[in-house]
Amino acid sequence: MATRTSSAPRGSSSSKSGGTGRGTATAKTGTTRTKQLPAVEPQQPFPVRALSWAWQGTGHMIGAGIRRIGYDVSDLDPADRRDGAALFNLVLGVFIATFAWWGFTGWLPDAVYSIVNGTFGWMSLLLPLMLFVCAFRLFRQPQDGRGNNRVGIGFLIMTVAGSGLAHIIGGQPTVAEGFDGLRRAGGMLGFLAASPLAAIHAAVPAIAYGILAVVSLLIVTATPFTAIPGRIRSAYEHLMGVDLAERAPEDDGHDRSYLYEGDAAKPKRKKRMRFFGRDHDDDAGLEGYVGDEPFEHAIVDDEGQVPRASAPRVPPGVRRPTPAEIAVEKIKAAQGLGAGSMDHSMDHGTMEHPTEAIPLLIPGQASAAVAPVPARPAAPPMPPTPIPQRTEQLSLAGDITYTLPASEFLTPGSIPKERTEANDAIVAALTDTLVQFNVDAAVTGFSRGPTVTRYEIELSPGTKVERVTALSKNISYAVASSDVRILSPIPGKSAIGIEIPNTDRETVSLGDVLRSQNARRTDHPMVMGVGKDVEGGYVVANLAKMPHLLVAGATGAGKSSFVNSMITSILMRATPDEVRMVMVDPKRVELTAYEGVPHLITPIITNPKKAAEALQWVVREMDARYDDLANYGYKHIDDFNKAVRAGKVTPPVDSKRVIKPYPYLLVIVDELADLMMVAPRDVEDSIVRITQLARAAGIHLVLATQRPSVDVVTGLIKANVPSRMAFATSSVTDSRVVLDQPGAEKLIGQGDALFLPMGASKAMRVQGAWVTESEIHRVVEHVKGQLQAVYREDVAPEAQKKQIDDDIGDDLEVLLQATELVVTTQFGSTSMLQRKLRVGFAKAGRLMDLLESRGVVGPSEGSKARDVLVKPDDLAPVLAAMKGQDAPATPDAHTAALSDNANANIAVGGYAEDLVANDLEARKQAVEYYDGADGTEEDDDGSEDAWSLTGR
């Protein structure tokens, strides 16, 4: 079911009235809003301009330095910089500090001292600090308008409260006693603030300003009242280096073994997560999971969603203006007469979002009468409040704490525009087109998204929808855009939607998406920031519920950027023991930034052949997980993990296995076409098997391709990958391959996409979230700085260099069997080879010759069996030499290799090692059996079974 967030300030649904337009074909209509052209600013004299340049230049230089302090935010959009204002704060702060902190004197410091100290008294000591903080924020986060305003207001309140308190503490001097007394107390401000309250009772100002001072501190630090205990505790822990949280029992059942394989002795600690000061259980994110729930809810829902009526309904007794009336308004406005008619008042009902007034006419009043109707709020970016922050204690050498990356690593985007002149012009053009073609319909509103704006057209009763859809070319012509997309109707609405690209498009920052309400509502580690929809709502999705995703689009359309946003979302929200990843990047350049992150299970795979092998490994891992689910009677890995953590899953009594929760496994293939070129059959088989089954095993596939043709995205793959993300495609055929419907060919690239999550009937248009390289770098450095990746070697093993001798040719397999047979039985008989290997006489003779040439058996002695020159203990190196490999280190290398595999499997989270252990046992028995043979042909008669046990 669909989901968008609406924490977000929406794009506005400002309504523009077109009119009903009946029979008014000749009437010119248009927007009723009058736009004042900006007055031409008079040219400043040169010295003023030079001074301004110098000031700005200095500001940019200092700003560039300050933006590199700590985590680098120097990729700030130049249009967002406010370095001039920041420099002003800095200079003022330094100047006040010269006399308030350092006691400089002179006519200028003295004069300013008199003003500042006389106004604020003792508070002037704090002023430089406040100004420095303001300057720092303005240099680094100028685009965070709400945050900066909050800090500014907090400081203002703090100054008043501080001056008031200083006045009380300074003995409440009066003006009559002279200004020296005021300076030594709270200054004039303190006097004015405190003396009226002191008249009530001496304690009143002290209490009132004491409370106000605390409140101002909370405002500045953005601390809600409920978070105070948590903040105090974390500050204490941070300062004292202690952990006040309750320690867990030694074994919390959480699998971290893959983080430090082979080091079982490390102590374990309880994993603790913090979310705005509250501690959460580590699997809180899975708490809501109820078994094998249906997976149609790929997008995270917003329960507290704001109603999304984009076109306000007309209240009773009110009608929309006709096009003719609007035209009159427009002309009046142009003449400077009727400006008052379109009062776009700001409704502060939400306290923070500006709202639009909709022009509606009340019968009986002059045409200029306006009833302001609040529309949905516009979508400012989320303030950089932290993404749910979780801290995890991991038992690492040196007692390292694993912390998820800070929310500030992802910078806020620019403030979205609610409505621009471009929108107004298009409303006018659309209305004109409708009127010109005598279509009885009106533009009733629009909602502006980051890339496109959706204009809503309502038809009068009796008007056919086709009258509007048939105008698609004329509309394109009127608005001068070839990428017009018509939705008839807009899902859930009796209105036609016309999506037209914004000439002034906006970038959607991943940080804003992850800070949205929807993303914060859940701790689920597989939740990713998708982007923003056409109405400006943030869209987030749970990859675990997709459960597999196909990402397709022409080159340069935004696939890799989407994949980057996805991976960064996971790194921001999930620990390596919650999500592990396999990345396949045949293009070699797209995912290199993530090399070495501890979430990786194998180095980034760039070789398509190896990628095919890795997919086969994923199938094996999936089978192992399924074995566990079946053995222990669970339907989904989340249930299994929960039971493991609750201690409800115990291994069989005679097993040495330690059962641990399985992490989610996310397999990302950045170019499927490259894989399908090298091994189409194998790749398709693996993908189909994984996609059919892996959902319950916690394994999820994301397949990206720039060639969504039927030979890459085959019918079988398509049928099993239910969620789709289509970026701009080069043809309508490609769009059909990805979405089973046209539409993607009309997208405008650069992250503009149609998102069709599993279960949704209609694709949702979104602008993909954007994450910059430096943001990725910061996140990756943070993650890598805490843990090193521990790779599984069996996922995509290094190709063994095979240098098989020419004379062996295709007979390597059978020769190895012959060698093992002859050496383990110590019986060099050709007829035995014939019987046991079921080969003809000639082949058996050839094998014997090969064995002789390799020194395994001696020369022929007529009808007698040949001497066997290799002892069973030396078998492994001989076999390795035949395969063209380096000899194993020990004679028992074969067995050791098997145990290694078993251990590795356990390390991924509880592989069925018992099976492998049984296999080892069988091998040993087989060897013992042959050791017991006395060397006669008859002796090995019963060896059939034992031989088959060796698995050859």
Q: Kindly list the residues in this chain that would bind ligand ATP in the complex (CB under 6 A).
A: 507, 553, 555-561, 706, 727, 750-751, 768, 770
How far apart, in whole angstroms, are the C-alpha atoms of residue 330 and residue 159? 48
Q: Binding residue per annotation — 648?
A: no
Alpha helices in 742-811 (DSSP H): 773-786
Report CA 243 to chain centroid distance, whole Å.
30
Give Cα 90 to chain centroid, integer Å. Answer: 36
Residue 534 beta carbon to ligand ATP: minimum distance, rounded to whole angstroms = 15
**Nearest CB to ligand ATP, comparing residues 686 and 706:** 706
Which residue lies nearer to ligand ATP by CB, 40 or 79?
Answer: 79
Spatial CA neighbour of 802 closest among 810, 794, 791, 792 = 810
| Closest CB 753 distance from ligand ATP, rounded Å | 8
Other beta carbons within 10 angstroms of residue 62's beta carbon come to 17
Please, what is the minimum distance in Å from the beta carbon of residue 447 to ligand ATP?
A: 19
Q: To the nearest whole angstrom, how small is the minimum distance from the Cβ of residue 77 to ligand ATP? A: 12
Give the nearest distance from C-beta 780 to ligand ATP in angstroms: 18
Neighbours of 91 (CB within 10 A): 16
What is the spatial distance between Cα 928 and Cα 935, in angstroms, rounded to a whole number? 14
- Residue 352 tokens read as 């923070």
Is 417 annotated to bind a ligand? Reply is no
- Least distance (Å) from ligand ATP to the CB of residue 757? 18
Task: Judge whether 557 is annotated as a binding position.
Answer: yes
553 labeled binding residue: yes
CB of 674 to ligand ATP, least distance (A): 11
Least Cβ distance, residue 772 to ligand ATP (angstroms): 10
Phi-psi region of 884 (alpha: psi -120 to 50; beta: other; left: phi over 0): left
Give the Cα separation of 736 and 729 in Å (integer).
10
Helices first, then strands: H and E counts in the chain: 30, 18
Token pair 């680094």: residue: 140
Query: Which one, 21 or 553, has the nearer CB to ligand ATP?
Result: 553
Instruction: Report whether 84 belongs to an annotated binding site.
Output: no
Q: Which is nearer to ligand ATP, 15 or 560 (CB)?
A: 560
The least CB distance from residue 543 to ligand ATP, in Å, is 18
User: Is residue 555 a known part of a binding site?
Assistant: yes
Residue whose C-beta lies closest to ligand ATP: 751
Annotated ligand binding at 897? The verdict is no
Q: Give buried/exposed letters for 218-243 (b at 16+ CB in 10 A, else e).
A: ebbeebeeebeebeeebeeeeeeeee
Task: Rank residues 66 and 737 by Cβ distance to ligand ATP and give the closer one.
Answer: 737
The answer to whether 4 and 535 have CB atoms below 8 angstroms apart is yes
Q: Exposure of 428 by Cβ count < 10 A (0-12 exposed, 13-18 middle, 19+ buried)?
A: buried
Q: How far is the CB of 453 from ligand ATP (least distance, A)?
A: 17
Q: Residue 813 has which token pair?
A: 């397999």
Residue 406 annotated as binding site? no
Which lies closer to ligand ATP via its Cβ, residue 490 or residue 769?
A: 769
Residue 665, helix vs strand vs coil: strand
- CA-nearest of 161, 162, 150, 96 to 123 is 162
Q: What is the largest CA-CA distance in the chain?
A: 133
Pick the closest to residue 174 from 155, 190, 151 (CA basis).
190
- Alpha-carbon distance values, 618 to 299, 636, 691, 833 (Å): 25, 17, 11, 38
> 561 or 824: whose CB is closer to ligand ATP?
561
C-beta atoms surrounding 63 within 10 Å: 25
If the CB atoms of residues 555 and 948 are measured against ligand ATP, the closer one turns out to be 555
The binding site for ATP comprises 553-560
The binding site comprises 553-560
